[in-house]
Amino acid sequence: MEDILNAFVLLSNFVLIPALAYGSQLALGALGVTLVYGILRFSNFAHGEIMSFGAMSAILVMWGFQASGVSIAPLPTVLLALPFGILATIAMLLIVDRSVFRYYRKKRAAPVILLIASAGVMFFLNGLVRFIIGPDDQRVVDGERFIIRVREFKQMTGLDQGLALKTSQGISVLAAIVCVGLLFWFLNHTRSGKSMRAYSDNEDLALLSGVNPDRVVLYAWILAGSLAAIAGTLYGLDKSYKPFTFLQLLLPIFAAAIVGGIGSPIGATVGGFVIAFSEVTVTYAYKRFLAYMVPDSWAPEGLAQLLSTDYKFAVSFMILVIVLIVRPTGIFSGKTL
């Protein structure tokens, strides 16, 4: 019995909790992508860099707070700075929309032109972020680092295996729940949210019914910017902030949005967790888990790892490929072909 408990704790510590936290971050990122897709009808390649910009703004404000001794310990200071990061991201996005995307929208350019424009924005933001904060690693965590520590858990339960829950992981999951809840409330129960859904479903019909397109687009950018800044900051808080990781996050984020059905918010949320759990479960080494679960003589010699962690991108890609072959509209049937 104790072996099974130990095995379960081991799996929670190395698979369940990290995947939940990572999935929350991916879901928030994918929601931004899917919202922009639903309203503006293009795949926003700049989304990773927008997340990076949001996290950077929050970090800059955080440094200001740290220097002046403001803190909300035991919580990390960056949370206090996050609203400023969100505002900065929204402001930046509105400027970008006014100067870049609006022109193509008014011209009703093909989606792929907007996609290329977003690649240009990505290029620009990529350079800008590195120009402002530099290419190096930035530590974001301060305050109390753990909610549950390995040693305390062992003492509490008397098991061999410990369980750690980082503050950043707890905050990620909590933030995802709050954001997703708020977003769905907004989309389903407010007038503006309903007009957004109507615009996403059928643009012409929505326009005929008196929906103001500029307002809908404004809401879409505000929501996408907030979600991106939160997702970027949480990812930075959980793993440490490195500007180059955000370009690599683009693939899992898009995979999450497509797997769930691009354009569908519920799909993006589910897709984020699907991608995160597959990535973590496939790249986890099950050696110690199996050692608890099977008799000693059966225990595996190798690491019992299906795929090395260097190939975690391959997991999101494989899922993407399977979905594209089997069900191109995604789990929740987002926008059709």
Contact footprint for other proteins (CB under 8 A): 42-43, 45, 100, 103, 111-113, 115-117, 119-128, 130-132, 134, 247-248, 250-251, 254-255, 258, 262, 302, 308, 310-311, 313-314, 316-317, 320-321, 324-325, 328, 337
Residues whose CB is less than 8 angstroms from the CB of residue 289 and which lie 6 or more positions away in sequence, other chains included: 7, 10, 11, 304
32 neighbors 180 (Cβ within 8 angstroms): no
Q: Minimal distance in Å, beta carbon 328 to other proteins?
A: 5
- List, as own/partner pairs, every contact residues 290-297 make where C-beta atoms lie below 8 angstroms and the sequence separation is at least 24, other chains included: 292/3, 292/4, 292/6, 292/7, 292/10, 293/3, 293/4, 293/7
CB of 305 to other proteins, least distance (A): 11
Closest to 330 in 3D by CA, of 269, 257, 278: 257
Name residue, tokens 């990572």.
22
How many angstroms separate the CA atoms of 84 and 69, rounded? 17
Judged by beta carbon, residue 175 or residue 323, the one nearer other proteins is: 323
In the bound state with other proteins, the residue whose beta carbon lies nearer, of 55 and 117, is 117
Q: Which residue's CB is nearer to other proteins, number 9 or number 315?
A: 315
Q: Which residues contact 122 (CB under 8 A, 6 or more apart)?
A: 45, 46, 48, 49, 247
Least Å distance, CB 42 to other proteins, is 7
- Looking at the Cβ atoms of 149 and 242, the one nearer to other proteins is 242
Q: Which is nearer to other proteins, 120 or 181 (CB)?
A: 120
Least distance between other proteins and beta carbon 188 (Å): 27
Min CB(48)–other proteins separation in Å: 11
